[in-house]
Amino acid sequence: MNMDLSALPKNFTWGAATSAYQIEGATQTDGRGVSIWDTFAMQPGKTIRGESGAVACDHYNRYEQDLDMMKSMGLQAYRFSVAWPRIQPSGRGAANEKGLGFYDKLVDGLLERGIDPHLTLYHWDLPQSLQDLGGWLNRDTAFAFADYAEIVARRLGDRVKTIATHNEPWCTAYLGFGNGQFAPGLKDPALVPQVAHHLLLSHGLAMSKMRAVNSQAQLGIVLNQCSVYTSSDTPENRAEAALQWANFVQLYMHPLFKQAYPEVKGFVPPSNIEAGDMALIGQKMDFLGVNYYTRIWCSKEGVPEPAPYGRTDMDWIICPEGLTKLLVDIHKEYSPLPPIYITENGVAYPDKAAGNDVADPKRIEFMKLHFEAVAKAATQGVDVRGFFYWSLMDNYEWNSGYDKRFGIVHVDYATQQRRLKDSAKWYRDFIADQSQSAVQTETADEAIIA
Ligand code: GCO
């Protein structure tokens, strides 16, 4: 397949992403406190085979080798998250120097290798001590989060390119409190709007504190979003699609970009909103991160969802055109948006190593289709600046344990051996090509100016 990526800006960034709990392991090292995922994974029946992130990819001990691997792939950027319980073991109070020191070394190691660091503050590993006080159901957690954000911004804000407050608040709110699939495992959909509000408030409070620190980093948030499709244009399907869009996308985008919750039939807004909250939440951001994996299908008449590109190992429908549609839809609804990064997009397949090789042709195809989908959005005026493949390496896929392999690098969990899958080699060559043509355009531009 030949890709047409000509609409992407010439300094477009190509990277890969991970998160702390999914790769670091070393959960009891250097003073790290207990997180809600440590607790959740220990409860019987919550995760596949009771698997946890206690060891994961042992990245905490192997980060130097992982950094070298990223460099060998020519990654231009790397998105990682900071584990709050490493920085403040109980979620409050003085910073733990050893925890901060780890990320300090990680960031410097990236910069030494010419890779831009992109940091996420919250990728779901809340300190357990805060959960004991109600976690995100408790408004105080938002203030604790802002203090944590300030500590990290002070220490690393001079060197990281971006700081995202939250990763996928929809997952924290809905999967954590609505259906109980994720930590802390509560099952009461009525809690979701208020949790979402506290997450958004914590984002706003953190933005203010980080701005005051005056770090160099661009500040924003990462949302997971799905485009919504209907099987036919009936009033019933339209209403269902509007409600899905409200719960999935607008619940977060409206407060962030319109300083209000959506008004859609069936949508339940949070009940406790204090004066000043919406202005805090809706303050200006430097970028928006979008994570895209699949679409939402609405069909009241029960038409099965078509899957021309098949399904992933997570059983998610592959729908590259849904990424174009999503970006164009939010661009139209919320314009002017800040520049967008695709902070996650990727696919799980049951990849197997044969000797040193891991053939994953379907992943390469998936990447090409989605790269092109981003470029198509750019032709329609969407300002997209970069793409982070999820994930750099196979890792702990939350309640699905270690079965689901999203990486472009294969991890053998028995030996911790990393092997570049064919997709990683393809991505390496692709990035080299892209940088080459970026240099050529620059030279050509200079020639024209001269
Ligand atoms: C996410 C996550 C990742 C998941 C990925 C695949 O933000 O949802 O960042 O933690 O592993 O999405 O499910």
pLDDT digits (tens, 9 = 90+) for 128-152: 999 999 999 999 999 999 999 999 9
For residue 321, the number of C-alpha atoms closer than 13 Å in the C-beta half-sphere is: 5
Eight-class DSSP state of 341: E
For residue 398, the number of C-alpha atoms closer than 13 Å in the C-beta half-sphere is: 17
Gap between the Cα atoms of 86 and 321, Å rounded? 39
Over the stretch 349-403, which tens digit does the pLDDT of each residue have? Answer: 999 999 999 999 999 999 999 999 999 999 999 999 999 999 999 999 999 999 9
Inter-residue contact 73 to 420 (CB < 8 Å): yes
Asked if pLDDT for residue 310 goes beyond 90, the answer is yes
Gap between the Cα atoms of 419 and 285, Å rounded? 38
**Residue closest by Cα to atom 4 of ligand 1:** 397
SS3 90: coil
- 105: phi > 0 → left, psi -120 to 50 → alpha, else beta; which? alpha
Report the chain's mean pLDDT, rounded to a whole number.
97
Distance 212 CA to ligand 1 centre (A): 30
344 is catalytic: yes
Question: What's the mean pLDDT in 107-128?
Answer: 98
pLDDT > 70 fraction of the chain, expressed in percent and rounded: 99
Concatenate the DSSP letters of all residues of 125-146 into one string. Answer: --BHHHHTTTGGGSTHHHHHHH
Distance 18 CA to ligand 1 centre (A): 8
Gap between the Cα atoms of 345 and 326, Å rounded? 13
Question: What's the mean pLDDT in 234-261?
Answer: 98
Token couple for 408: 């472009």
Q: What is the pLDDT of residue 162?
A: 98
Question: What's the mean pLDDT in 235-247?
Answer: 98
pLDDT band at 305 (very low <50, low <70, confident <90, very high): very high
301 exposure class (CB count in 10 Å sphere: 0-12, 13-18, 19+): exposed
CATH number assigned to the domain covering 13-449: 3.20.20.80
Asked if pLDDT for residue 15 goes beyond 90, the answer is yes
Q: What is the pLDDT of residue 99?
A: 98
Q: Which residue has the higher pLDDT, 439 or 38?
A: 38
Q: What is the pLDDT of residue 1?
A: 72
Inter-residue contact 220 to 297 (CB < 8 Å): no
Asked if pLDDT for residue 443 goes beyond 80, the answer is no
Question: What's the mean pLDDT in 13-30?
Answer: 98
pTM more than 0.85: yes
Question: What's the mean pLDDT in 168-191?
Answer: 98
Asked if pLDDT for residue 334 goes beyond 60, the answer is yes
pLDDT band at 18 (very low <50, low <70, confident <90, very high): very high
Gap between the Cα atoms of 221 and 169, Å rounded? 9
Concatenate the DSSP letters of all residues of 172-206 into one string. Answer: IIIIIIIS-SSTT----GGGHHHHHHHHHHHHHHH
Distance 166 CA to ligand 1 centre (A): 12
Nearest to 17 by CA among 400, 401, 428, 395: 395
Question: What's the mean pLDDT in 155-167?
Answer: 98
Distance 191 CA to ligand 1 centre (A): 22
**Residue closest by Cα to atom 13 of ligand 1:** 397
pLDDT band at 448 (very low <50, low <70, confident <90, very high): low
Q: What is the pLDDT of residue 198?
A: 99
**Residue closest by Cα to atom 11 of ligand 1:** 397
Gap between the Cα atoms of 30 and 135, Å rounded? 24
112 is catalytic: no
Nearest to 217 by CA among 149, 118, 87, 76: 118
Asked if pLDDT for residue 205 goes beyond 90, the answer is yes
Asked if pLDDT for residue 444 goes beyond 90, the answer is no
Mutation test residue for ligand 1: of 390, 393, 395, the one with most atoms within 8 Å of CB? 390
What values do phi and psi take at 387, rounded to 5?
-140, 130
Asked if pLDDT for residue 438 goes beyond 90, the answer is no
Token couple for 207: 């933005």
SS3 content of the chain, % helix, strand, coil (to 5): 45, 15, 40
Q: What is the pLDDT of residue 295?
A: 97
- Where are the chain's structural domains? 13-449
Gap between the Cα atoms of 127 and 353, Å rounded? 36
Question: What's the mean pLDDT in 153-177?
Answer: 98
Gap between the Cα atoms of 104 and 157, Å rounded? 11
Asked if pLDDT for residue 450 goes beyond 70, the answer is no
* Residues in contact with ligand 1 (CB, 6 Å cut-off): 19, 22, 167-168, 171, 224, 291, 344, 390, 397, 406
Q: What is the pLDDT of residue 215?
A: 80
Candidate list 24, 51, 150, 168, residue with the active-site label: 168
